[in-house]
A and B are shown apart, each in its own frame.
Chain A
């Protein structure tokens, strides 16, 4: 669905934000895009949606070049930015004006998602809603467009704790084999039990891109005693409950992925993890 080859990008002439970035993403999956601030996660989403253009390399999204911003491509992409525009429209009018651009938009789904998010009336003006409520409206709309590609930049920012759970449930039920969702976030715990693959950016490049199956096959996440340490340990964090460790999975033991721990492990011991997944 997405094929990015050797892309360079910079906002100014002197500093490159992305260098020789390559990435392939398939349909039917939810990809978690993780990285520190300023690594280029949002920029990557903007490149995919055609909001910015690469200075080098090529991007193919569903067979289209994003920089051409053709309607056939745009009607199959919904991009939820981190900050939302102040639109002087009611939810009802927003639907009336924007929905016709998306051929697979489903109004019933939209109403259902709004209901799940406890947004009772579509008469409310978008610019009068709180950031969290507005985000709920846009998430609901984005899921209801039924576009093949959904790009979400920090979707859970501003959502309260129950809404984060609802978000996970709604996203999980909305994604099928034909759709692809990329979620860029700092709040890695919000993606727990939701994503199918993890992409980590560091130093303006992709340093880790693996499916959950691969990760659980090759890595073991465990809580160990303080004196428990062996050569399989790649990364360990000392907490009140003991040592949280990421280890090589030499015994084919299944463990639940701790995304935050994995994220830290990749940053602390990038080479070893990359070698393990080669």
Chain B
């Protein structure tokens, strides 16, 4: 038996997570609201998709470890499940990034189809189906590009992984109520836009062009900045998940 990692135990832990009614309820709420939001996008309403994704990503991430703040009985229950800390953090990572990312995309596609269908059938709006998830204005802020074709999907994934890790980290280090958590989420969002997307500011400073408007005029310097920006996210995501792993390993009952 491998002491630290087994796919079987990871699978069992995912099954355990999905059996929890609270987890299922939060998912339904998140996907339901995303559905409504994306549905409106399908009808060409001006919604900020990125904000939605960030906020619901936060709810999703914090729902995984919400009990760490206030429920020692659930912490006991969780820590005594026969899995390793590496498996626990892997499941947390998979659910809050890979799973979250896939579901958001899936909901977007379904809603777009539905939105276009309803628009054409009942409202007389001839809205072409928008397959490109990342062309909306809001998404450009997250991706730094104006079309899916120019997006480095791994960098985008690293950004989601970084944000989710940051939000999960708070579950380990502090006892918090919901208000504090929402404030933290807003601060994280602010940090993201203000500090942690440095490439776009550097890009504008050096090239004089807006990072989001100029995917086709990437100079050698611009490409370097983009690459460096991506590296920051890979690194930051890796470091934060490593920190979360350490915090989980050191987690004791209060």
State yes or no: do A and B come from one complex. yes
Partner of A79, one of B6, B19, B76: B76
- Tell me, rounded to whole Å, the shortest Cβ–Cβ distance linking A135 to chain B: 13
Q: How far is the CA of A166 from the CA of B10 in the complex (A)?
A: 37
Flag if A50 contacts B79 (CB, 8 Å). Answer: yes
Partner of B82, one of A81, A88, A97, A101: A101
Interface size, chain B (Cβ < 8 Å): 30
The list of the 6 closest CB pairs from A to B, nearest first, reads: A88-B21, A74-B82, A75-B82, A85-B73, A101-B82, A97-B19
* Overall SS of chain A's interface: loop
A-B contact pairs, 9 of them (CB 8 A): A71-B3, A71-B83, A74-B80, A74-B81, A81-B73, A83-B73, A87-B20, A93-B19, A101-B82
Flag if A101 contacts B79 (CB, 8 Å). Answer: no
Closest residue of chain B to A97 (Cβ to Cβ) is: B19
Query: Quick one: which of B6, B20, B82, B253 has the most chain A CB within 10 A?
Result: B82
Q: How far is the CA of A100 from the CA of B16 in the complex (A)?
A: 10
Q: How far is the CA of A87 from the CA of B253 in the complex (A)?
A: 18
A129 close to B (CB within 8 Å): no
Flag if B77 contacts A51 (CB, 8 Å). Answer: no
Flag if B253 contacts A52 (CB, 8 Å). Answer: yes
Which residues of B are at the interface with A, using a C-beta cutoff of 8 A?
1, 3-4, 6, 9, 12, 15-16, 19-22, 71, 73-74, 76-77, 79-85, 87, 249-250, 252-254
Q: Could you say which residues of chain B place their CB within 8 Å of the CB of A96?
A: 19
Flag if B85 contacts A69 (CB, 8 Å). Answer: yes
Q: Could you say which residues of chain A place their CB within 8 Å of the CB of B12?
A: 97, 100-101
Flag if B16 contacts A98 (CB, 8 Å). Answer: yes
Flag if B9 contacts A71 (CB, 8 Å). Answer: yes
Flag if B77 contacts A101 (CB, 8 Å). Answer: no
Q: Could you say which residues of chain A place their CB within 8 Å of the CB of B3?
A: 70-72
Q: How far is the CA of A69 from the CA of B20 in the complex (A)?
A: 22
Flag if B83 contacts A89 (CB, 8 Å). Answer: no
Q: How far is the CA of A84 from the CA of B76 in the complex (A)?
A: 9
Q: Could you say which residues of chain A place their CB within 8 Å of the CB of B73?
A: 81, 83-86
